[in-house]
Amino acid sequence: ELKVEQNPLFLSMQEGKNYTIYCNYSTTSDRLYWYRQDPGKSLESLFVLLSNGAVKQEGRLMASLDTKARLSTLHITAAVHDLSATYFCAVAYSGGGADGLTFGKGTHLIIQP
Amino acid sequence: DAGVIQSPRHEVTEMGQEVTLRCKPISGHDYLFWYRQTMMRGLELLIYFNNNVPIDDSGMPEDRFSAKMPNASFSTLKIQPSEPRDSAVYFCASSLLVRVREGYTFGSGTRLTVV
């Protein structure tokens, strides 16, 4: 059974600070996704990571993947209030198809002015 | 593209009643997924379809839950009879196999409250 663990689950930080969210998963996978969810809203795709060493950046967010360690990180640089949200990582089985995703519990991020 | 469309957005029903949630995937997408989100259990995959055929329903919690996809543009998730513990947000998502590496698109969700 594929398990996905995120930490921390809750994070309160000040604007301007840097922080990293960690996502560990239990079995081999060829796809890892990061999503953002605002309160009462749907899930918005942020990043798709497909290979070992993959790094993607969008604005103040940067995601990386280490398939050997089964670890992905989402790094926040110089946080701003607009980044307050819940962030999920999700992993697909290495089936080659569009398998259902297994999600972590999410990291509830609050960025205070 | 209108995205994945779910209806209703909110549903309040009494325990024991039948509830039907609806989903219209993105046109041309060949995979459709139903997820449930609760505070306690997070996001759980309930069932998914490929070309209208159910592939994996191991996440369906009980026989009270059933899902159908009669055609490529419509799917339903039915709960009969509903119970208070079914209260959750139910999301539908769709994807295209050849573009799965670009991600899955989620609908806005249906917030179900069973009283």
- Rounded Cα–Cα distance for residues B72 and B25 (Å): 8
Closest CA to B90 of B24, B8, B17: B8
> CB of B52 within 8 Å of any CB in chain A?
no
Q: What is chain B's mean pLDDT, rounded? A: 94
Q: Quick one: pLDDT at residue B54?
A: 94
Beta-sheet pairing, A4-7 with B74-79: unpaired
pLDDT in tens, B58-110: 899 889 999 999 999 999 999 999 999 999 999 999 998 766 677 889 999 99
Beta-sheet pairing, B5-7 with B19-24: antiparallel
Determine contact, residues A6/A108, Cβ cutoff 8 Å.
Answer: no
> CB of B66 within 8 Å of any CB in chain A?
no
Determine contact, residues B69/B51, Cβ cutoff 8 Å.
Answer: no
User: Tokens 């997924």 appear where?
Assistant: B33
Q: Quick one: pLDDT at residue A97?
A: 61
Which parts of chain A register pLDDT below 50?
Answer: none
Tell me which of B106, B108, B111, B113 to substitute to probe the interface with A (most A C-beta atoms closer than 10 Å).
B106
- Rounded Cα–Cα distance for residues B20 and B6 (Å): 11
Cross-chain residue pair B101–A98, CB shorter than 8 Å: no
